[in-house]
Amino acid sequence: MLRYTLKRFGVALLVALTVSVVAFTLLRLSGDPAAALAGEGATEEDIEYVRKHYGFDQPLLTQYSAWLVKALKGDFGVSVYLKTPVSEIIFERAPTTLILGLCALSFALILSIPLGVLAAMYPNTIIDRTALTIAVVGQALPSFFFALVLIIVFGVWLRMLPISGSGSWLNFIMPSVALGYYATPAIMRLTRAGMMDVLSSDYIRTARAKGLRPRVVLFKHALRNAIIPVVSLSAVQLGFMLGGSIVIETIFSLNGLGNLAWQSIQRSDFEVMQAIVLTVASFYIVLTFLADMLNAFLDPRIRVH
Amino acid sequence: MKTKLMIAAALAATALTSNAALAGKADDTLNWSTTRDVDVALPYFNNVRETVILTRHTWDNLLYRDTKTFEYKPLLATSYKWVDNKTLEFKIRDGVKFHNGQPFTADDVVATYNLVSKPDSGVLTKRNVSWIDHAEKTGPNTVRVYLKNTFPAALEYVSGPMAIFPKDIWATAKKDAKGKPDYGTVAPIGTGPYKMTKVVPGERIELEKNADYWKGSPKGQPSIGKIVFRTVSDPEAQIAELLSGSLDWIWDVPKDKADQLKLIGIANVVSAPTMRVNYLAMDVAGRSGKGKDNPWLNDKVRKAVAHAIDREAIVKNLVGGAAKVVHSACYPSQFGCTSDVPKYNYDPAMAKKLLAEAGYPNGFSTDIYAYRQRPVTEAIMGYLGKVGIKTNLKYMQYKALRGFAWDGTAAFHNMTWGSYSVNDVSAIASHFFNGGRDDYCRDQSVIDALKKGDTNTDPEVRKAAYKQALTTVAKKLCWLPMFSYSKYYSFTHDLDFTPTADEIPRFFTAKWK
Amino acid sequence: MNDMTKAEKLPSAEQILEPSPTSLLLKRAFGHAGMTIGGGVLLVILVMALFSPWLAPHDPYAFDLAKKYIDPIWHANGTWEHILGTDGQGRDYLSRIIYGARVSLLIGFAAMLISGILGTALGVAAGYFGGRVDMVITFIITTRLAMPAILVALAVVALVGSSMWIVIWVLGLLIWDRFAVVMRSATQQVRNMDYVAAARALGCSTARIVLTEIMPNIVNSLIVVATLEVAHAVLLEAALSFLGLGVQPPTPSWGLMISEGKGMMFFKAWVIGIPGAALFAMVLCINLLGDGIRDVTAPENRN
């Protein structure tokens, strides 16, 4: 188990490093950070000064190593626009995105797991078909369009929910639904498939034959086994949501990392952009790492592989 | 009208369920919003309109321009006089305190004027301060401001952008990336009717009533207890918040939405003219490249553009209200402005003919830069497309576009200018055609004429000089002035508010009904 | 005894008339509800896209500022001249929807082709060669998955500029991961088959083996993924255009139309409803088709 953990950890670290290199290169190559940092109205002289002072005239590799060393200490530079350290800004904005992601995932799980279980219990019936229809519709609905529809219906026509800002937990309801809906089909399908497999397995048949009540059989044994792949998938989906929240955050004016990324892109705020890409990638890497660990812990066969 | 019924029904429903509205009369807080995010909330170091508004509330100037008569009233100065053409003398008022308790004195005036007029002070709009040579305290309550040249419009600037800071505040500036002091980082301390109590850059700015605001100010005494500015970057979210009550005041509502809001009747909808002018700038000076492939160097091309666009239709259908087509690079009420300049009517056939004569029988492709009111730019793009000029829209934030305009990349851009609400041609034409970084004309005769107009004290000489400059600009079409804006305001029925033509909402004279 | 053996050797009538695998497939396809509906509507959309100049009642770029936001035909003040109304610049909505199908399909297909070639190459290589190659390619896939696609796309487009082809390339170079993953596992399954071992024993070159033995057997999965990735690309383009960094005005893109119509959404919901419904319909049908292909070509996968 330990060897496996270390191996996965090593890979995770390497992935994080590669992502940071790619993000760094992409951003440095497509603009002049010296000009951006020097601000408008800066003369050629000023820009040169900034270039030397911050080492932008050095080869990319040197710049990257310097950035990496500082990053490992937690220093991600200073935001050109907000004039405050990037790490501060990220710390401020990250919780909103994390809350949004977790709420969206919760919504997806609350909707899809019961649906998947029901569909598996009554395959090829109207219940099954309804569940599959919800899944198929969920995959086809653009999340930003869905968000707008929710705003019109629940924010203005019915006036039930607030539509912008992050003042209270109510503010997160619509964004979570709009963001989480997209993950529903995958989780539902997986739950359904997993349940069906397990329900028809020998183990369950034996338990039933032993005379255990159907409900007990179902929820204690089947669900526990079927849930394993769902946990992994949920972790991955959460990772995607944290990275893909930009559209939802801008529509609902939630001040999370996605919104910050959008603003930074528009302002050519390199340091912030880079830090956000790295932060979001790290979330994903950590989540998949944890999912792998959980899987390996629950299902010993994986470790041996 | 189905929508109207639905929204009315929704209103009735919410009368029963109180949706937490932390806004409005109920808690004496005026929530207003624009879509712009404000990073620096100080005068001098930011030139966005939101800062101009906040400046009026938090700081006082030496003089105050009356909104109706345009006369200069005493504010922090009890009187003024022109000692000679290049010297202004002010008598300074007693008994005024800054928000931090410090007493206001003549030294503060001197310190402010001297610092902002320094060439490396970092002031963004140099025109606002470049007329000042230096200031001196010549008596316990007397200050003299020495001008570099005769500059009759000086009082416009004294009463407009020149806010007064405490003298010690400049030393508290933080250092920037270049190692120089960044004066935009000092605390927002002034003497105005509101104290700036909280600034979250890019998000919100809070003002609280200054209960000790000095009596007898032409600004009156503030009534509303708290004013909160919030950036709501999504215009639809703004409308929704206005409808639901969590915002009390918005402006810049596009005509279509304003018409719809009026129909529904939940909030007041008022339109007022503004000094803001929309214009198209063309690279006559070849700043983006002097080669043959720069179509803007050809004056037939520029004339074609002027004839291709139906400005009346844009004004009537997209902008609405009191908006008007404008023919010269100024707003009609500004001193020195005249519309007696070459005019270009809507004539797409003529535009095509000119393009063919210029060597572009099939038109050409170009980028067009813009930052505001996209439908207007898109309409412009549509008209140009009809005569064969294919445009590629580069829509971006104001700050980014400003940078491109300054470094010459944006050869063809659609921008606006509010002149800081200064009612003088020097605040617009002299800003854009003085050979500086905003100038795409770079015409020496214009530069000279503007200088003459800026520095001569004889009003007739000034008018003639400005007319000459404006005529050349119109002939050369460095600018195609489009129209003057009308702004739509929408605010809660609980608020007693009157918009002014200078595009500076005065919440310090507003009251709850 | 002899009679019976003899009888078995002769093909019976039923055996001669047994339908070929292709017609069996088609039969299954038409029997599959999702596939017929999805495929059918998609065909309509395809026709719309191919024949836009003949189907659209107006020029999608023709604008008239005096005729803004005319309501569609089902409103009191609708007019037959503009069945689906007009947008904020007075352009006919129906025509823009019809031409918008072109934009979505073009971008969807092109991005799918680019990502398909890239992803399949990587996936097949990883699945066939295994070992170090597999390790490296899996690492590349994991890294790509860790990077937030939409953020990277936005950043690149914001810095490089946005045009249809830039969007296509950016999307194509970002969404290849599903191809790689699916093709990798499909290749792995096929690699261990007898006929591949036989081909290897015969000394066939790697390229030959891949092209003649492996590819034909994984092409089913490829088609399914390709279909689903077209839908993915269409949704991503819509999101990019919605944010203003995709297709630029005045090009009619459904995502852009939603973004342009957002201003009126509280007052005239149809302005965003119509392009939104169009997007939904297109993506739904593509997904149904893809799912249908998967069900029909490998019925054992269906539960």
- B262-313 tens-digit pLDDT: 988 889 999 998 889 999 999 998 888 887 788 999 999 999 999 999 999 9
Q: Rounded to an integer, what distance in angstroms lies between the CA atom of residue B340 and that of residue B475?
A: 12
Beta partners for residue B199, in sequence order: B205
Better-predicted residue by pLDDT, A196 or A33: A196
pLDDT at C199 over 60: yes
pLDDT given for residue B12 in this prediction:
40
Search chain C and give the residue with CA nearest A287: C146
Buried b (16+ CB within 10 A) or exposed e, C267-295: bbbbbbbbbbebbbbbbbbbbbbbbbbbb
Sequence-distant (≥ 6) Cβ neighbours of residue A206 within 8 angstroms: none
> What mean pLDDT, rounded, does chain C reach?
85
Q: Rounded to an integer, what distance in angstroms lies between the CA atom of residue A241 and that of residue A235?
A: 10
Search chain B and give the residue with CA nearest A89: B201
Phi and psi at B29, nearest 5°, equal -125, 125
Beta partners for residue B132, in sequence order: B147
Sequence-distant (≥ 6) Cβ neighbours of residue C239 within 8 angstroms: A142, A143, A144, A247, C150, C246, C255
Q: Rounded to an integer, what distance in angstroms lies between the CA atom of residue B15 and that of residue B17?
A: 6
pLDDT at C154 over 90: no
- A203-231 tens-digit pLDDT: 667 766 777 666 666 666 777 777 778 88
- C32-68 tens-digit pLDDT: 777 888 889 999 999 999 999 999 999 999 999 999 9
Better-predicted residue by pLDDT, C296 or B102: B102
Closest alpha carbon to B202 in B241, B242, B229: B229
* Tokens linked to B53: 């508004």
Beta partners for residue B488, in sequence order: B271
pLDDT band at A39 (very low <50, low <70, confident <90, very high): low
pLDDT at C136 over 50: yes
ipTM confidence score: 0.83
Better-predicted residue by pLDDT, C197 or B441: B441
pLDDT-above-70 percentage for chain A:
85
**Which DSSP symbol is given to B46?**
-
Beta strands in chain C (DSSP E): none
Closest alpha carbon to B173 in B267, B42, B262: B42
CA B22 to chain centre: 30
Residues of chain B with pLDDT below 70 are 1-23, 177-178
* Tokens linked to B150: 């005769």
Put simply, the answer to whether B236 touches C265 (Cβ < 8 Å) is yes
Beta partners for residue B270, in sequence order: B489
* Tokens linked to A120: 């598996």
pLDDT given for residue B13 in this prediction:
41
pLDDT given for residue B6 in this prediction:
53
- A51-66 tens-digit pLDDT: 777 777 788 888 888 8
Q: Can you state the angle between helices B255-264 and B2-16, rounded to 10 degrees?
A: 60
Beta partners for residue B390, in sequence order: B365
Mean pLDDT of A153-175: 77
Buried b (16+ CB within 10 A) or exposed e, B175-189: ebbbeebbbbebebb
pLDDT given for residue B400 in this prediction:
75
pLDDT at C84 over 80: yes
Buried b (16+ CB within 10 A) or exposed e, A256-270: bbbbbbbbbbbbbbb
pLDDT band at A167 (very low <50, low <70, confident <90, very high): low
B124 touches chain A (CB under 8 A): yes
Cα B432–Cα B437–Cα B441 angle in degrees, nearest 5: 50
Put simply, the answer to whether B236 touches C263 (Cβ < 8 Å) is yes
Better-predicted residue by pLDDT, C291 or B479: B479
**Which DSSP symbol is given to B424?**
B
Cα B276–Cα B281–Cα B283 angle in degrees, nearest 5: 160
Put simply, the answer to whether A18 touches C288 (Cβ < 8 Å) is no
Q: Rounded to an integer, what distance in angstroms lies between the CA atom of residue B157 and that of residue B424?
A: 10
pLDDT given for residue B396 in this prediction:
80
Sequence-distant (≥ 6) Cβ neighbours of residue C13 within 8 angstroms: none
Sign of the C-alpha dihedral, residues B72, B77, B78, B82?
A: negative
pLDDT given for residue C253 in this prediction:
92
Lowest mean pLDDT among A102-111, A126-135, A143-152, C131-140: A126-135
**How many CB atoms within 10 Å of residue B340?**
11
Phi and psi at B288, nearest 5°, equal -90, 5
Longest CA–CA separation in chain C, Å: 93
Whether cis (ω within 30° of 0) applies to the bond prior to C250 is yes
Mean pLDDT of C267-272: 91
Beta partners for residue B208, in sequence order: B195, B226
Lowest mean pLDDT among A95-99, A168-172, C103-107: A168-172
pLDDT given for residue A304 in this prediction:
56
Closest alpha carbon to B161 in B405, B400, B427, B416: B427
Helix/strand/coil for C238 = helix
Search chain A and give the residue with CA nearest C159: A30
Q: Amino acid identity, residue B13?
A: A
* Tokens linked to C119: 């992803």
Closest alpha carbon to B60 in B191, B149, B159: B191
- Between strands B249-251 and B479-491, the pairing is antiparallel
The A-side interface with B (CB below 8 A) comprises 37-42, 46, 49-50, 53-54, 78, 81-84, 151, 155-159, 162-165, 167-168, 250-253, 255, 263, 266-268
Closest alpha carbon to B242 in B502, B495, B507, B500: B495
**Which DSSP symbol is given to C65?**
G
User: Could you say which of B185, B233, B402 has the minimum Cβ distance to residue A40?
Assistant: B402
Q: Can you state the angle between helices A2-29 and C131-146, rounded to 10 degrees?
A: 60
Closest alpha carbon to B334 in B228, B470, B212, B167: B470
Q: Tell me if B101 sits within 8 A of B210, measured CB to CB.
A: no
Q: How far is CA A30 from CA A211, A281, B399, C175, C245, in A?
A: 68, 21, 19, 21, 16
First to last CA, chain A: 12
**How many CB atoms within 10 Å of residue B164?**
25
Q: Rounded to an integer, what distance in angstroms lies between the CA atom of residue C180 and that of residue C174?
A: 12
Q: Tell me if B228 sits within 8 A of A154, measured CB to CB.
A: no
**What length is written for chain B?**
513
Put simply, the answer to whether C284 touches A140 (Cβ < 8 Å) is yes
User: Could you say which of A15, A193, A281 has the minimum Cβ distance to residue C148?
Assistant: A281
Helix/strand/coil for C266 = coil
pLDDT given for residue C16 in this prediction:
67
Cα B15–Cα B19–Cα B21 angle in degrees, nearest 5: 110
Buried b (16+ CB within 10 A) or exposed e, C218-243: beebbebbbbbbbbbbbbbbbbbbbb
pLDDT given for residue A31 in this prediction:
64
The DSSP element (H or E) to which B279 belongs, if any, is strand B268-282
Phi and psi at C40, nearest 5°, equal -60, -50
Q: How far is CA B76 from CA A136, B88, B106, B113, B367, in A?
A: 69, 15, 10, 14, 48
C130 touches chain B (CB under 8 A): no
User: Could you say which of B14, B39, B232 has the minimum Cβ distance to residue A253?
Assistant: B232
Q: Rounded to an integer, what distance in angstroms lies between the CA atom of residue B390 and that of residue B102?
A: 59
The whole model's pTM is what? 0.83
User: Could you say which of A123, A192, A277 has the minimum Cβ distance to residue C147?
Assistant: A277
Put simply, the answer to whether C68 touches B378 (Cβ < 8 Å) is no
The DSSP element (H or E) to which B257 belongs, if any, is helix B255-264
Q: Can you state the angle between helices C149-160 and C215-243, rounded to 10 degrees?
A: 60
pLDDT given for residue A243 in this prediction:
84
Better-predicted residue by pLDDT, C263 or A26: C263
Closest approach of B347 to chain A, Cα-based (Å): 37
> What mean pLDDT, rounded, does chain A reach?
81
Better-predicted residue by pLDDT, C149 or B356: B356
* Tokens linked to A153: 């219906």
